[in-house]
Amino acid sequence: MSTSFRGNKLSLICGALSWLRDWEEKRRQEEERLLAQDGLSSQRARPDSAGTAPGSPTRDPDWVTAFVQNKEERDRVDRLKEEHIRRKKREDSLEKIRHNVQLKYAAKRKRCEEDEAKRLLQLSKEALSQGAGEGVLDQLDHNEDELILAEYESDDEKKVVSGLEEDDDDDLEEEHVTKIYYCSRTHSQLSQFVREVQKSPFGKDTRLVSLGSRQNLCVNEEVRRLGALQLINDRCMEMQKNKHEKKSDEENEGKKRRVSRTVCPFYSYEQMQFLRDEVLVEVKDIEQLVSLGRETKACPYYGSRFAIPAAQLVVLPYQMLLHEPTRNAAGIKLKDQVVIIDEAHNLIDTITCIHSAEVSGSQLCCAHSQLSQYMERYRKRLKAKNLMYIKQILYLLERFVAMLGGNVNQNPGCQAVSQTGTVLKSINDFLFQSQIDNINLFKVQRYCEKSLISRKLFGFVERYGGPASAVKINKENQNLAGLQNFLLTLQQGSDKEGTPQSPPVEAEHDQLRAASPLMQIEGFLSALTNANQDGRVILNRQGTVGQSSLKFLLLNPAVHFAKVVEECRTVIIAGGTMQPVADFREQLLGCAGVDPARIVEFSCGHVIPPENILPIILCSGPSNQQLEFTYQTRDLPQMMDETGRILCNLCNVIPGGVVCFFPSYEYEKQVYGHWEQTGLLSRLSAKKKIFQEPKKANQVEQVLVEYAKCIKRCSQTGGQMTGALLLSVVGGKMSEGINFSDDLGRCVIMVGMPYPNIRSPELQEKMTWLDKTMPRAAGQAPSRVLIENLCMKAVNQSIGRAIRHQKDFASILLLDHRYARPAIFNKLPQWIRERTQVKPAFGSAFAELRKFHRGKLAAL
């Protein structure tokens, strides 16, 4: 009942790994041939060189020419020799680990001994420190050292030594073997893929590594408790920095005792090497990797990265591959490699979302207040360059709030916006009008990244900003009271009497979000560095400044996909339901500069026989009401009544489960309410128990379980009730990746055409951009093609939920006469299109459906 694993993924696994095995074998043979040839040629070269007369004028030019011609080949042979030695060494090492169990036990015993030694050392330190009588105030001052920004060295290309960037990379540098990068949308899909690799014929011989975010792979409970991904990332990076600064701190110790900075106990190079080897020896999914990390006391996040160079198959989420900074940080090198992007029907939207960013007025004002208080507290201890950048960030925040019509020094929840509405601006216009065009955003972005200022600020607010923190008001921290009061007003909002309220316990998580707004703002600053023509800034002015927001919208996803295409040997964009594919070809590949001759389209039919599926386009209902669910007509009572009558008739003849998709949650709720009033709902309930798709993701599984139980119970007991009816939403939780096989989905019904909201400013801007940059296709404007493609992609995803294996059968009903139009009809998947019947009247459609399902039931 959870996510399905379709045959197309198994085909991808076997096809890709078969190619890789053949490629490696051919390369091995070529290496052996060249090395053997080199051995023969070196033997022949000795007598020739000995017999050449010194200073012979006729022979020298030939010898020099031959030398120049052969130099490249000799260099290549030398490289092959080095690669051959490295590969042999690596394979021997992994084979040794695979078969020598004693090595594993020795490593485990060593870890236990080290843990025990650390525990005893800690006990000794605690015993010695008892009664030391250090001043509490002095201790607090030293604790604040980790909140203070380190000296920022430079803006230019100098490398900043932090974490792994300098110390360890030299030891870890390893030639990347030819590999396949496989990416999908979610960690659960990737885990399923890995489990299928484990079961496949390639499972034992493939070196596979699963990559994930720190949120999924971190085994340090102190860091995991932070919850938010950005907080986990920053805390982890800070711990790596602390590890490398620890030595210098110890050397400078003596003048006054410093409190040791926190380092991660799982960041042990020796243990991570062991984890890397374990990963390469045996295929493991994310969950197994985390378990191994806990067992070996090694960081799975960094340990898995160390395994990338030697891995043959790297499994990773979309974001890690498609976002260049993340890709580079992970050590992913795409040059001459193969990339498979699965579940790619929403690839364009994914790239757009990854590179778009939004910040609210509340976040901007809160960040300004926090940063101002931070600067005031540590002004005397911050270096000049840090102060300069902090002032620049404060100015940027001030101007952003001004663009929303507010004042950064006032409560955003109390500032009414005079001119509400949505305004779109080009990046350059936004920079000029906000008067920040004289600031180098690239340098500010680099400063935020290298200084970890958002992490320092979060630590500062964590200590002093919350109402739970007991901060004594004295001369030194008197200014912090302003920050506390400001955060309280953000949490409470403005009440009519103006009396302060005590913050509720439930607001704890909201405080965490409010405490780290600069992290979100950094993403917006990064987005503003895109080229002017590739994006727009949306100013969304609502009732108050706090409710208003600034959003960067990426219009041209191809600029971020171009590098992937340029570097890779091959990019495979795959999915079970990819039609229509014109968007990928034109918006993504064409705009990325891919030669049309390089683009190969491949599509294969479904495994089910033609007689196991009955797709029908229904043009009118039982009372001859034409079915056209436009925004203007779908709310009419007669349209909702006709939809109910169709379902009542169908539920009489279709066994098991029926899944009915509506264009939106609002429309499904409206229709459900109308049926309740008219009595249609009780007529439907007599034949099928009705379930509704919940809006909350954590409730979906429960609804699906109850839905499945009901269908099973009805099929076993018989009686008047024949199964269940599930009312779902296109683009909702159940329209993608859910498996409605067999009795769970004997019929899928699509009510109307789920066109996107054409009044959306973002969509309108995208349409305008496409009309300006793309040629017309078959007489249609690119914007019109976009709207139709978005609609049909959603339809194809939804109706593909039913047929899940070779012996499965189902009917598909499209309720809208517009599906029969050639431009729309041709965008259905080929295996459905070839079998689709267009029925102008309900009677003939109903007869066909009854015949189909009775025939299938008789054959069972």
Tell me which H or E stretch contains 563.
helix 558-567
Distance CA 20, CA 24 (A): 6
Cis previous bond, 503, omega within 30: no
3-state secondary structure of 2: coil
Three-state SS letters, 297-354: CCCHHHHHHHCCCCCCEEEEEHHHHHCHHHHHHCCCCCCCCEEEECCHHHHHHHHHHH
Distance CA 823, CA 751 (A): 19
Local confidence band at 124 (pLDDT 50, 70, 90 cut-offs) = low
Distance CA 215, CA 223 (A): 9
Distance CA 326, CA 233 (A): 12
Instruction: Give the sheet arrangement for strand 357-360, strand by strand.
Output: 357-360, 549-554, 535-541, 421-426
Local confidence band at 821 (pLDDT 50, 70, 90 cut-offs) = very high
The confidence score (pLDDT) of residue 383 equals: 84
Over 80: is that where the pLDDT of 541 sits?
yes
The confidence score (pLDDT) of residue 229 equals: 80
- Exposed / middle / buried, residue 271 (Cβ in 10 Å: 0-12, 13-18, 19+): buried
Structure-token match 């509405």, residue found:
421
Bridge partners for 615 per DSSP? 812
Phi, psi of 58 (to 5 degrees): -80, -30
Over 60: is that where the pLDDT of 725 sits?
yes
Query: 523, 469 in Cβ contact below 8 A?
Result: no
What's the chain's length in residues? 860
3-state secondary structure of 294: helix
What tens digit of pLDDT does each residue of 424-467 get? Answer: 999 999 999 999 888 899 999 898 888 888 888 888 887 776 54
DSSP-derived letter for residue 261 is P
Over 50: is that where the pLDDT of 691 sits?
yes
Query: How many Cβ atoms are within 10 Å of 253's Cβ, its own excluded?
Result: 11
Higher pLDDT, 600 or 718: 600
The confidence score (pLDDT) of residue 421 equals: 86
Which amino acid, 19?
W
Query: 429, 532 in Cβ contact below 8 A?
Result: no
Share of the chain above pLDDT 70, in %: 74
Higher pLDDT, 396 or 511: 396
What tens digit of pLDDT does each residue of 251-280 get? Answer: 555 444 444 467 888 888 888 888 888 888
Local confidence band at 669 (pLDDT 50, 70, 90 cut-offs) = very high
The confidence score (pLDDT) of residue 349 equals: 86
List of domains in the chain: 1-34+176-239+264-343+558-604 (3.40.50), 357-463+515-555 (1.10.275), 613-859 (3.40.50.300)
Distance CA 612, CA 268 (A): 57
- Please name which of 346, 354, 339, 854 lies closest in space to residue 577, comparing C-alpha atoms: 346
- Please name which of 463, 437, 452, 329 lies closest in space to residue 389, comparing C-alpha atoms: 452
- Please name which of 522, 387, 371 lies closest in space to residue 458, comparing C-alpha atoms: 371
Which structure tokens are listed for 153?
């060295």
Distance CA 402, CA 424 (A): 16
3-state secondary structure of 714: helix
Rounded to two decimals, the pTM is 0.77
Query: 651, 658 in Cβ contact below 8 A?
Result: yes
Distance CA 142, CA 144 (A): 5
Instruction: Give the sheet arrangement for strand 570-573, strand by strand.
Output: 208-210, 313-317, 180-184, 338-341, 570-573
Q: Is the dihedral of CA 191, 330, 593, 537 positive or negative?
A: positive
The confidence score (pLDDT) of residue 612 equals: 85
Over 60: is that where the pLDDT of 135 sits?
no
Query: 208, 304 in Cβ contact below 8 A?
Result: no
Which structure tokens are listed for 732?
């909702």
Distance CA 762, CA 758 (A): 9
Local confidence band at 499 (pLDDT 50, 70, 90 cut-offs) = very low
Q: In Å, how far are 277, 491, 660 from 814, measured between CA atoms?
A: 53, 48, 10
- Please name which of 380, 389, 373 lies closest in space to residue 152, comparing C-alpha atoms: 389
The confidence score (pLDDT) of residue 103 equals: 54
Tell me which H or E stretch contains 41.
helix 7-51
Higher pLDDT, 134 or 469: 134
Distance CA 831, CA 800 (A): 11
- Please name which of 816, 815, 819, 817 lies closest in space to residue 833, comparing C-alpha atoms: 819
Distance CA 704, CA 519 (A): 37
- Return the minimum-mean-pLDDT range out of 232-246, 487-501, 539-553: 487-501
DSSP-derived letter for residue 630 is -
3-state secondary structure of 347: helix
Distance CA 749, CA 660 (A): 5
What tens digit of pLDDT does each residue of 735-767 get? Answer: 666 778 788 888 999 999 999 988 888 899 999
Local confidence band at 593 (pLDDT 50, 70, 90 cut-offs) = confident
Highest mean pLDDT: which range of 374-388, 464-478, 745-759: 745-759
